[in-house]
A and B are shown apart, each in its own frame.
Chain A
Amino acid sequence: GAVVSQHPSRVICKSGTSVKIECRSLDFQATTMFWYRQFPKQSLMLMATSNEGSKATYEQGVEKDKFLINHASLTLSTLTVTSAHPEDSSFYICSARTDNSYEQYFGPGTRLTVT
């Protein structure tokens, strides 16, 4: 149990376009989902926390108009990178948890490359 999926696993897009990444909890209801960004050989940087039906809470330095997060249901959160630039190229990982759990379950990650 407690499986989190991400789609797509890898995406290449042109500079200036927008890309949507989906994060799904497959066998549980995720009241809270987290979006992280990971640069090569570095740790995970929390970008935002989203609760189902509410606006996401962004970490300092993360542009909310550039990284749009929607958590419309208890099993799905989306991250849209708008007007992507090469510096947005990174590994994006989501995680999910329920109210009663002290565990965060991580998705497999999405490799975004902006050309």
Chain B
Amino acid sequence: GEDVEQSLFLSVREGDSSVINCTYTDSSSTYLYWYKQEPGAGLQLLTYIFSNMDMKQDQRLTVLLNKKDKHLSLRIADTQTGDSAIYFCALAQLSSGSARQLTFGSGTQLTVLP
């Protein structure tokens, strides 16, 4: 099955950029997502990218996809204290059929220091 890896922790200073990385093994991944989870809460979809795209920007968020290296990244510009949370990458494959089950990475705890 799909194996999705993320670094567990990342600390940045307020105002700096954050880059959260994700690597995966299944090259048939079609939909790639980034979710944010705040303490005790569910998951909030931040952004997504299709496998036929290399880059997507949405306000402070930039997603880069390197299909050759099977590497996905999320860049948060001008990181704020409210961005402190756990960030999950998640992948879905066409092979999972119409259900499009998601495979999640382990999550990266982002801590924004004042």
Contact = CB atoms under 8 A, between A and B. Distances in A.
Interface of A: 4, 6, 32, 34, 42-44, 46, 49, 51, 57, 93, 95, 97, 99, 102-109, 111
Given A43-B107, A44-B88, A109 B102 contact: no
A104 B102 contact: yes
A57 B96 CA distance: 12
A102 B48 contact: yes
Interface magnitude class on chain B: 20 to 34
B35 A102 contact: no
Contact of A44 (B33, B45, B100, B104): B104
Interface string B41-55: 111110010000000
Contacts of A4: 42
Contact of B45 (A99, A105, A108): A105
Question: Secondary structure at chain A's binding surface: helix, strand, loop or mixed?
Answer: strand
Contact of B42 (A34, A46, A57, A108): A108
29 contacts: A6-B42, A32-B98, A34-B101, A42-B106, A42-B107, A43-B88, A43-B104, A43-B106, A44-B43, A44-B88, A44-B104, A46-B101, A46-B102, A49-B101, A51-B99, A95-B43, A97-B100, A102-B92, A103-B33, A103-B45, A103-B48, A104-B45, A104-B100, A104-B102, A106-B35, A106-B43, A106-B44, A109-B40, A111-B40
Contacts of A104: 45, 100, 102
Nearest to A97: B100
Interface string B75-114: 0000000000000100010000011111011110000000
User: Which of B40, B44, B88 has the most A CB atoms < 10 Å from its CB?
Assistant: B40
Contacts of A108: 41-42
B94 to A, nearest CB: 11
A43 B22 CA distance: 14
B102 A93 contact: no
Nearest to A94: B42
Contacts of A49: 99, 101
